[in-house]
Structure 1
């Protein structure tokens, strides 16, 4: 099968931690058995061992999108693509749809982030912008298949009036070779970890307040992993809350070090406003930490393996209840691990191949 993958960027690691490991891993796994060309709409700093087209520009521009379209058409005319798959509805998803129509390929669009979100508190989400909503709807309607990352996102997709010829829920999986299961013994101080880019949509200020209330009642420590895009505001909040001796910021870490941080923790604490999936919860469950936080993304889908609430007081009490109950804690670990292992990165690639094959058979 000849497959084109289109992404705004994120293929391979970057110095600042800007890579998107799940997309890079999918491309590499597909390339083991299929002919894959990846098209990045911005420059790839450290290309993985893939056939990659990318422009010289560091960010996505109108010029880089048009260059990618020309490259896709030229490649497709030399050796036709069977499937063209874009990640995010715009511009990569729209480009996948246009290129597929021009070359006779099947088109797939995976909605990765803000397309079905509306968070007015911080002005986040395409649904807050009529133009962004319209272009996502048009892209999804024209694609042969639209992939969503959680059932929560699927409900948001339909509630927002999106339509598609075919929708599939295919959550990202992670490899157990990296996120090896080795849970820590549940004991005090309780160990919490948070893994994410430090951005407003992750609502880490709320996370720090929740952790502060837990730490006022139990010995507890929090490790925050991820590049800082908030200019030190979270560190300032940590000082204001008097938590500097309980909270550690590591900045960006490579995946093996992230996996080790999960294994040292008892709980992942994640209070995002919105997640299409929230891969950190899958990584934590695979490694041996119980995800806790707001019911968004996959954490809303897996309440038997996560501690969730929209109410801070309820969330805190629920976390402490699990921390006091070794049996309940172990049951959540086992359930989370089983689900994550059943839908790991190998399953993820195989599920995409099955989708591509069905689309080709129906052509």
Structure 2
């Protein structure tokens, strides 16, 4: 290929964000972004954990850790050296690390070796501290130190919501520039279904069981609502078949009102929204939250906690309450159910918002951002 029509090359560092997880889906919204960017860039994906390579777009080349029995840090170092070796033969133009550790940390080493600009993208609670539930890089001393160094030394730092950016500025703390670049979903995969709020109200929750997703608040919220209106809850995700969950449902007297569907493939998610009226999402923290956007695109109104995207859009596009406030969220949700006109308005306006800032829009924003970094070529120490 002539230099004039050569695609810019990206060294993408991640921990299973493409091809990872039990179903090989990685983080679907991140995977979708780089699938789109692979049309404009030559991307080599260095995954610091083993992945399902059959799930990776053909245009993206993959490198994985060696299979030898070695300590994790040795494997990370070897993979980083492999990236530097690849650079010798086909130079990269930019390093893009998804998350802080191990990817961002080893990306700093890689930058010293190949002298190319580095962007680190935060996608979860890397720059947060939630000690009561054991989440967030900043609650672990050695990881907090790495996080602060990576966030301070990278050439560009990216968050995926304004909420996440504000948390990072406050928690690191830092005064450096942080760019917010939302991810956006492939809205074409989530067909819109016009619906009216009716009884029984069909609630939906999609998430793996985790303290960060705070399903205890979710179930408590649903329990309060169920005492006032006829309703059912469908839960999709891993981890619920444990005594603690069954005991909680029995205590809340909702064991006969909840259906568990288990984990399902991403391509089956759109159908799950068709029968739902309300998505109930009560996380303690979110970087953004793709499932919220997917629900909105489908015409499902979202009731949840003010974190991630829901903190950004607020009451104008959803029903929100403070994290952990089951009573407040239940009260606001009941008010919504009693107001069909507001329900319809929220459904329409939220859908239009997500369509305006979908995956196509997001990919173009990332392209402009990456091209600007490449053209400047500034590399930190």
- Give the TM-score normalised by structure 1: 0.94
The residue aligned with 1:40 is: 47
8 Å contact from structure 1 (residues 178, 255) kept in 2:
no
Q: Is the 8 A contact 2:23 2:265 kept in 1?
A: no
Q: Deviations over 1:192-248 (max 9, x none)?
A: 111111111111011101101111110111111112178453233223322222111
Unaligned segments of structure 1, at least 5 residues: none
Q: Determine the structure 1 residue equivalent to 2:64.
A: 54
Q: Do the aligned residues in 2 keep the contact of 1:145 with 1:164 (CA within 8 Å)? A: no
- For the pair shown, the structure with the greater C-alpha radius of gyration is 2
State how far apart, in whole Å, the 1-side matches of 2:99 and 2:128 are: 13
Give the superposed CA RMSD. 2.1
Name the counterpart of 2:356.
342
Distance 1:59 1:122, change over 3 A: farther
1:257 corresponds to 2:268: yes
Counterpart-to-counterpart distance in 1, 2:240 and 2:118: 33
Match of 1:353 in 2: 367
- Detail structure 1 runs of 4+ shifted over 6 Å in the superposition: none
1:6 equivalent in alignment to 2:19: no
Q: Is the 8 A contact 1:299 1:308 kept in 2?
A: yes
Matches within 5 A, 1:1-363: 1-12=8-19, 14-16=21-23, 19-47=26-54, 48=56, 49=58, 50-55=60-65, 61-163=72-174, 166-228=177-239, 231-303=242-314, 304-310=316-322, 311-363=325-377
Deviation readout 1:130-161 (Å, 9 max, x if unpaired): 32222111111111111111111111111124
Aligned to 2:212, the other structure's residue is in SS state helix
| Alpha-carbon distance in structure 2 between the residues aligned to 1:59 and 1:152 | 39
Offset, 1:162:
3.9
CA contact (8 A) 2:200 2:229 kept: yes
User: Cα gap change, 1:101/1:350 in structure 2, threshold over 3 Å: closer, same or farther?
Assistant: farther
Contact 1:8 1:42 in 2 (8 A): yes
Once the two structures are superposed, residues 319-351 of structure 1 have per-residue CA deviations (whole angstroms, 9 ceiling, x without a partner) of 111112122111111221122112211222211
SS at match of 2:192: coil
List per-residue Cα deviations over 1:249-293 (Å, max 9, x = no partner): 111111232121123211111111111212221111111111112
Q: Is the 8 A contact 2:161 2:288 kept in 1?
A: yes
> Structure 2 stretches of 5 or more lacking a match?
1-7
- Describe the shift of the 1:262–1:17 C-alpha distance in structure 2 as closer, same or farther (beyond 3 A): farther
The Cα shift of 1:67 comes to 2.1
TM-score normalised by L of structure 2: 0.89
